[in-house]
């Protein structure tokens, strides 16, 4: 069985992330969506909230596991038996940082390959930071996020 790990901050998960998960499911037997616990990075949502949103957003997709990790991604990938890491690439601006991470991760774990997937062009401009900002200022972001995330955002910002 070929498992792949899809790591990220997911603060919160967007429709762009979901698009990447669906594409990854077409290539691998199992996709482990792994929320990185980074105590130095300030998050809007807790890891538990992020995982709950991902679980609900992926409940109709078979072969998705939701997990979290701290420490090095490659250590977690190895422990989970993943043969690859999925990263989404939206624009050229993502590339340099992703390239550095992929090469460092390969240096540390040569057998774990990073696979870049491009979400549909309609999600090119989407990222969690923009979603948080627009939602915090009271605008509707429901077309960009799963319904459960929209509910969490409304609750968090007291808009509804």
Residue whose C-alpha is closest to residue 85's, from 70, 71, 106, 64 = 106
Q: Smallest distance from the beta carbon of 109 to ligand PNS, in angstroms? A: 10
Q: Does 72 bind ligand PNS (CB under 6 A)?
A: yes
Q: Which of 136, 3, 139 is nearest to 65 (CA)?
A: 3
CB of 158 to ligand PNS, least distance (A): 26
Active site residue 154: no
Among 12, 16, 36, 146, the residue binding ligand PNS under the rule CB under 6 A is: 36
Residue 150 touches ligand PNS, criterion: CB under 6 A = no
> Which listed residue (13, 18, 73, 84) binds ligand PNS by CB under 6 A?
73
Instruction: Residue 82: name the closest of 46, 109, 61, 103 by CA.
Output: 109
Give the footprint of ligand PNS on residues 85-114 (CB under 6 A): 101, 104-105
Contact status, residue 41 vs residue 129, Cβ threshold 8 Å: no
Please, which residues have CB within 8 angstroms of residue 56's CB and are 6 or more apart in sequence? Answer: 146, 148
Count interface residues toward ligand PNS (CB under 6 A).
9
Contact 50, 37 (CB under 8 A): no
Catalytic residue among 9, 17, 23, 50: 17
Contact residues toward ligand PNS (CB under 6 A) are 7-9, 36, 72-73, 101, 104-105
């Amino acid at each position: 069985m070929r498992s792949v790990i899809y790591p990220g901050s997911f603060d919160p998960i967007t429709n762009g992330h979901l698009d990447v998960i669906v594409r990854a499911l077409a290539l691998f037997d199992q996709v482990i969506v792994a929320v990185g616990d980074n105590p130095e990075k300030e998050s809007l949502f807790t890891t538990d909230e992020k995982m709950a949103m991902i679980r609900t957003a992926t409940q109709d997709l078979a072969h998705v596991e939701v997990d979290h990790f701290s420490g090095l991604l490659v250590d977690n990938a190895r422990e989970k038996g993943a043969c690859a890491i999925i990263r989404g690439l939206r624009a050229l601006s993502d590339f340099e940082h992703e390239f550095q991470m992929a090469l460092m991760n390969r240096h540390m774990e040569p057998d774990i390959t990073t696979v870049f997937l491009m979400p549909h062009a309609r999600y090119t401009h989407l990222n969690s930071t923009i979603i948080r900002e627009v939602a915090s200022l009271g605008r509707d972001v429901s077309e960009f996020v799963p319904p459960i995330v929209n509910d969490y955002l409304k609750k968090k910002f007291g808009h509804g």
